[in-house]
Amino acid sequence: MEKVKFLDLGRIKYKEAWDKQTTLHDELKSIKKYNKEREENQAKKKQNHYLIFCEHPHVYTLGKSGSMDNLLLSEDELTQKEIDFFPINRGGDITYHGPGQIVGYPILDLDLFFNDIHKYVRIIEEAIIKTLEEYGIQSGRIEGLSGVWLDATKTKPKRKICAVGIHLSRWVTMHGFAFNVNTDLNMFKNIIPCGIVDDDKTVTSLASELNKKEVDIEEVKEKVKKHLSSLMEFKLI
């Protein structure tokens, strides 16, 4: 069983977390390349996998397949509202990160797990689905869309509670998921979340669904860690 080092960076600027991810991602790829160049009888370096959790100050990020049209604020308005913006190299369109959200960045060499990108994304989604079940909330997926969704009710449309966007290089992962726990949902009004223009779809948070002002985010983190490590079959250290 592979071991994965868990790092909780707390609240950290998006650029700082991105730089940290990039450093660890490059390190893992470098060791992987080194090991592949060794002969069978030569010593190899140990691969290090990581799972990073953090929160960010207000920031919008735009995936490589996204459109700037989905950002509804000008550069001046972003500055006035003290919101950062970054075009980045993950998949997907535009999303929001901010306080009260669990942002997870697994940095894994999938060659040591399985070579299936879709399986990897489905496992991340399943970890959130199982976490929500522990709070009595049924959730699932929508065909053709990534992330975790709640079904429509008589009074609410379909709601996205967790976004997923990843990047792979040489089967080493970075970026990951953003799970709305105590998130200020008003921040999504400044974008077209994930580029989805549909009155029958919106965003939500765990606190909103439980009709609570705030949920114990540390408790939620433990549940997500438990399910992710179980589904991926790794041991957190």
Catalytic residues: 194
Nearest to 25, CA basis, from 237, 190, 173: 173
What does the block give as tokens for 210? Answer: 């439980």
Q: Which amino acid is at 142?
A: I
Q: Which residues contact 45 (CB under 8 A, 6 or more apart)?
A: 31, 34, 35
CA distances from 145 to 93, 158, 162, 164, 196 (A): 11, 12, 12, 10, 9
- DSSP symbol at 183: -
Beta strand 101-107 pairing with 172-180: antiparallel
The CA-based angle 6-166-113, given to 5 degrees, is 60
Bridge partners for 107 per DSSP: 50
